[in-house]
Amino acid sequence: MTENFAEIKNLNVTYQTKKNVFGELQNIYAVNNLSLEIKKGEILAIAGESGCGKSTLAKAIMKLIDAKSGEILINGENVLTLKSRTDLKNFYQKVQIIFQNPYSSLNPKMKIGKILAEPLEINTKLSKEEINKIVEEKILKVGLDKSCLNNYPHEFSGGQRQRIAIARSLILNPEFIIADEPVSALDVSIQAQIINLLKELKEDFNLTFLFISHDLSVIKYLADRIAVMYLGEIVEIGEKEEIFNTPKHPYTKALLSSVPELISTNKEKIKLKGELPSPENLPKGCKFHTRCPYVKEKCKTECPDNINFSKTHRCKCFLYYN
């Protein structure tokens, strides 16, 4: 059995907003009692519409925003309790993130060589020569030429900038990379190149990936397992084949139905109705009930628990209760 690299237990991430004109505040749940395990060496994809909490989850794991409660265990250590500089430094050597927009994630005033060297200068005691050697190795690894180290980010195309951002994410030899919609800002013609690069790097550096995307075609190509997220909760999780061949949750079926080439003619198709409700007005009971074609009275007031279909496949839906 493959060991878990990371375990997220009962994670809640909230933000505060004004409840009324008197300035009273209320907690809005962006991630809601979420539990998930990430196996060492796998690519776990998180699928779901924009606004369902995928990026909030990524930021909470990276400690870019505070979690309200729960645990995020990486190699058994709860990252939510890390406070000291040394602990945080060790954490950011192990865990890196690639963002959607490579331009805003690269300092426009720094040359690429400096952008790549800086994490090594801050986090290691390597000599200048040793740092230069690693920087050159990494830029070649992502398919760019050494000559680009003397240029600024604005001198590159979107695809090249994302390659540079990937090189930077690799510079400290991390074990785990969170890729948050890494190709959705790129031209379709470039997307496949970046996806193939990530796949290649995963093998070469023995990486574990959390891959966040709204694009099921990309997920189908890249992922080992898939977790489907809706309004801050994982509503279904399973091996890629389980999710694509035998989806259970009506929301998963609706997402698959929206990509005709992913769903065979004999599969049930569900048209997704309406907009994703705002987290400020979270529905009671099953959060999907306002859009679900199978909604029953019970769904409007009670939250379904996970039902297991195999050791790896589970979903939250009353349809499967006896």
Site residues (vs ligand SF4, CB under 6 A):
250, 286, 288-289, 292, 294-296, 299, 304, 317-319
> Identity (one letter) of the amino acid at 240?
K
Q: Cβ of residue 293: shortest distance to ligand SF4, in angstroms?
A: 8
Q: Cβ of residue 302: shortest distance to ligand SF4, in angstroms?
A: 8
Q: Buried (b) or exposed (e) across 270-301, using 16+ Cβ within 10 A?
A: bebeeebbebeeeeebbbbbbbbeebeeebee
Which tokens is 117 given? 């060297």
Q: Cβ of residue 255: shortest distance to ligand SF4, in angstroms?
A: 13
Q: How far apart are CA 311 and CA 320, in angstroms?
A: 16
Q: Which is nearer to ligand SF4, 144 or 299 (CB)?
A: 299
Extended strands (E) in the chain: 4-18, 25-39, 43-47, 69-74, 77-78, 95-98, 176-180, 208-213, 225-230, 233-239, 306-308, 314-316
Q: How far apart are CA 4 and CA 37, in angstroms?
A: 6
Residue 7's alpha-carbon distances to 3, 11, 152, 229, in angstroms, are 11, 10, 38, 16
> Identity (one letter) of the amino acid at 306?
N
Q: Which is nearer to ligand SF4, 62 or 319 (CB)?
A: 319
Q: Cβ of residue 230: shortest distance to ligand SF4, in angstroms?
A: 9
Q: Cβ of residue 292: shortest distance to ligand SF4, in angstroms?
A: 3
Q: Cβ of residue 321: shortest distance to ligand SF4, in angstroms?
A: 9
Q: Which is nearer to ligand SF4, 19 or 298 (CB)?
A: 298
Residue 289's alpha-carbon distances to 10, 81, 105, 127, in angstroms, are 22, 36, 37, 59
Cβ(31)–Cβ(201) below 8 Å:
no
> Identity (one letter) of the amino acid at 95?
V
Q: Which is nearer to ligand SF4, 48 or 304 (CB)?
A: 304
Q: Cβ of residue 278: shortest distance to ligand SF4, in angstroms?
A: 18
Which tokens is 2 given? 């493959």
Q: Which is nearer to ligand SF4, 79 or 286 (CB)?
A: 286
Q: Which is nearer to ligand SF4, 216 or 307 (CB)?
A: 307
Q: Which is nearer to ligand SF4, 18 or 300 (CB)?
A: 300
